[in-house]
Structure 1
Amino acid sequence: MKKIKIAFFDIDGTILRFGKPDMTEKVKEALNMLQKNGVLICLATGRPLVAIPKFEGVNFDLTIAFNGSVCMAEDKVITNLVIPYEEVMTIINNATRMGRAVAVATKNRIVTNGADEALREYFEVANLKATPSPEFDDAVKEEVYQMMMGCKRSEWDEVLEGTSKAKIAAWWDCAVDIIPDGSGKGNAIKKVVEYFGFSLDETIAFGDGGNDADMLQAAGIGVAMGNASDSVKAVADEVCGSVDEDGIYYYLKEKGLI
């Protein structure tokens, strides 16, 4: 194994157990030991910036948010990709025709124009509430890094109808994140590697959802959590224990990385 210089971690279902506000002590220990051993640690999440929690006792070196639309190393912006305004409006109109509510995420806020059951459940995973906001029309005029809505796989084409610069990233079968075409966690880690002058062989990534698949494929070593779907495990290099079993800690220990 080539020396690992940077490790990427999804949040929900990977370092954070679903419904829990903080990591276990073992996962915190693993992350801090990685840093002590000279490995940079990076959050790689589909969450918007304003929905990323601060984890007491762990300071990440980098953050990838909005499924790769924004990537930051402290205050340095490495990637900053937005969905063009015209396509934001097209997607909103598509969703309205489908009878679906939509959320838009800017750098500083997340607002919705409605709250159907799927969108409410989707927000609850991140301990957020999908509450319709009178600020929605103003928010869509800002830079939109990601949109979220409830829909099934069979409806994806309808969601994106009339667009060419947006794509879907999904980790759940009842809702999607809509992101800029050049975004995605896999593309983001390639930009990070280029920024630091590393090679992809010197990276490792952990994830559990469908939106983690391209990241696991791009990394030198892609590790699927034991709680990941079969399709995610199929594209990973290795599988560790589940998030409920502190899979990251025991994998890193077994591999001698901590």
Structure 2
Amino acid sequence: MKPIFFIDYDNTIFSHQTWQIPESTLCALEQLQKDGYKLVIASGRAFRNNSLPEEFQGRITPDCLVSANGAIVEIEGKLVKEKYFDKDLQRRILDYVVEKNYCLLSGQGNDWCTSSIERFKEIASPKQQQLLPKSGDAYKALYEKQIPSMFLADTKEAIADVQEHFPETKLLCMGDELGGADMIPKENGKVKGAKCVMDYYHASWDDIIAIGDSMNDIELIQAAGFGIAMGNAMDEVQEAADYVAKHIDQNGFADAVSKAREEIAKR
């Protein structure tokens, strides 16, 4: 079978420097689909088929989604997996970040809320502040919602503290450029979500091409038959990859796809 491409979103497809998807990236994605490759968007965001990036509209429809770091999996438009935080654990996390005045973000689609809007304004970049998260009652409503993943938009010290306090979770750092960390139940992860897709298509790890940039990608990049780190990826991710592409804003994704095609041609 043709390899399946598992592709991260933030700082792999979507640049946090320009706050857009490079045209060369969109063209590379379109061409992969035209050539018959399966595309899987494997993101920390809780994407659904009805909440895909605006730039995709009319151009790209992913074959599958591995969203919220593997907690939500959709295959060919059908939901096949949902795995959320345990309710008691979720409540304790939401309480703790308020007590410590950490900036926790959570949401689905384009709606975000935060534990501390003041803290968010302190540490978020001007572009990140375009998220315009809500607080107060919107944050309190999270206690009753099913949450697949959260984002701790705070310092390395805060991330380390929360990880130590909640060993039943994994905090996956996004690197200095983006900052913060995805927070997921320990049993979740993109590899777990990828397995659902692989089972559906009867694929093995040798059939997988993985492209990403941060710590929520590293396990998938290591497991894949060919793993690619973006040039803007964290050092640990680059070291784990089979190939390091150019920076996202230097046509890095197109470079990653070109290298992947070279490797496929050798098989």
Q: Same fold judged by TM-score > 0.5?
A: yes
Indicate the residue corresponding to 1:219 in structure 2: 224
Over residues 44-93 of structure 1, what are the superposed CA-to-partner deviations in whole Å (9 max), with x where a residue is unaligned?
A: 11122377513131221111221221111243223211111110111122
Q: Residues 121 and 228 (structure 1 numbering): CA distance in 2 closer, same or farther, change over 3 Å?
A: same
Task: Tell me, yes or no, if structure 1 residue 202 matches structure 2 residue 227.
Answer: no
- Determine if contact 2:22/2:249 at 8 Å carries over to the other structure: no
Task: Tell me, yes or no, if structure 1 residue 144 matches structure 2 residue 147.
Answer: yes
- Determine if contact 1:105/1:145 at 8 Å carries over to the other structure: no
**TM-score, structure 2 normalization:** 0.83
How far has the Cα of 1:109 moved from its partner? Answer: 4.5
Task: Tell me, yes or no, if structure 1 residue 244 matches structure 2 residue 226.
Answer: no
- Determine if contact 2:211/2:256 at 8 Å carries over to the other structure: no
Q: For residues 6 and 129 of structure 2, what CA distance do their matches in structure 1 show? A: 19
Over residues 165-211 of structure 1, what are the superposed CA-to-partner deviations in whole Å (9 max), with x where a residue is unaligned?
A: 42212213542221122211222212221222111100101111122
Unpaired stretches in structure 2, ≥5 consecutive residues? none
Bigger shift: residues 144-153 or 204-213: 144-153
Q: For residues 220 and 21 of structure 1, what CA distance do their matches in structure 2 show? A: 31
Q: Percent identity?
A: 25
Q: For residues 126 and 77 of structure 1, what CA distance do their matches in structure 2 show? A: 31
Q: Residues 164 and 99 (structure 1 numbering): CA distance in 2 closer, same or farther, change over 3 Å?
A: same
- 1:129 counterpart letter in structure 2: L
Indicate the residue corresponding to 1:131 in structure 2: 134
Task: Tell me, yes or no, if structure 1 residue 228 matches structure 2 residue 233.
Answer: yes
SS at match of 2:137: coil
Cα RMSD after superposing both structures: 2.8
How far has the Cα of 1:226 moved from its partner? Answer: 1.0
Task: Tell me, yes or no, if structure 1 residue 180 matches structure 2 residue 178.
Answer: no
Unpaired stretches in structure 1, ≥5 consecutive residues? none
How far has the Cα of 1:238 moved from its partner? Answer: 1.1
Q: Residues 101 and 117 (structure 1 numbering): CA distance in 2 closer, same or farther, change over 3 Å?
A: closer
- Determine if contact 2:6/2:42 at 8 Å carries over to the other structure: yes
Task: Tell me, yes or no, if structure 1 residue 171 matches structure 2 residue 171.
Answer: no
Q: For residues 93 and 158 of structure 2, what CA distance do their matches in structure 1 show? A: 12
How far has the Cα of 1:145 moved from its partner? Answer: 0.9
| Aligned counterpart in structure 2 of residue 92 of structure 1, from 91, 94, 111 | 94
- 1:210 counterpart letter in structure 2: M
- Determine if contact 1:27/1:246 at 8 Å carries over to the other structure: yes
